[in-house]
């Protein structure tokens, strides 16, 4: 079974190592120590915890309902406006997402660099690579 260090777990969860350490200290995720004394998180425990925090991240207030299940909340880092089309970049944890949409949609949403936004992905094909 693969185990992850606090730093590796933090990168996978899209949080700082301090946040992952606080979660471990609070008992939200179980750790064990290796022979050199490093705290490790079991891979299955980390997978279950990542699902738990993803499901419990936001209350019902202000939630928009959608059929797109893959949501990446983040911050708008760049907007390129053309006459008709626009390109919007969102940084969501370790993920950079780029969307092409109409200029009108960007203006209607009031998107600006630095504001929070959620990229929602709906796809018929998903590829998985083992790292």
List, for residues 14-32, the tens digit of each pLDDT value.
Answer: 888 898 999 999 999 999 9
> What is the pTM (predicted TM-score) of this model?
0.50
Confidence at residue 65, expressed as pLDDT on a 0 to 100 scale:
54
Interaxial angle between packed helices 6-13 and 17-25, expressed in degrees from 0 to 180 and rounded to the nearest 10: 110
Query: Torsion angle of alpha carbons 119, 75, 15, 54, nearest 10°?
Result: -30
If pLDDT is split at 50, 70 and 90, which confidence band does 51 have?
Answer: confident
Residue 47: CB partners within 8 Å, gap ≥ 6?
Answer: none
If pLDDT is split at 50, 70 and 90, which confidence band does 95 have?
Answer: confident
Mean local confidence (pLDDT), 124-129: 70
C-alpha–C-alpha distance, residues 11 and 68, integer Å: 24
Mean local confidence (pLDDT), 82-101: 91
Q: Can you spell out the DSSP letters for 56-119?
A: TSS-STTPPP-S--EEEEEEEEEEEE-SSEEEEEEEETTEEEEEEEEHHHHHHHT--TTSEEEE
């Amino acid at each position: 079974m693969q185990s992850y260090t606090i730093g590796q777990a933090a990168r996978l969860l899209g949080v700082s190592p301090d946040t992952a350490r606080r979660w471990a200290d609070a008992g939200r995720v179980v750790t064990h120590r290796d022979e050199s004394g490093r705290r490790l998180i079991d891979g299955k425990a980390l997978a279950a915890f990542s699902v738990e925090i993803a499901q419990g991240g936001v209350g019902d207030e202000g939630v928009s309902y959608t059929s797109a299940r893959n949501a990446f909340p983040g911050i708008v880092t760049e907007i390129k406006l053309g006459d008709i089309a626009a390109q919007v970049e969102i940084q969501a944890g370790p993920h950079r997402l780029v969307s092409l949409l109409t200029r009108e949609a960007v203006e209607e949403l009031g998107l600006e660099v630095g504001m929070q936004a959620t990229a929602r992905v709906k796809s018929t094909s998903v590829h998985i690579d083992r790292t």
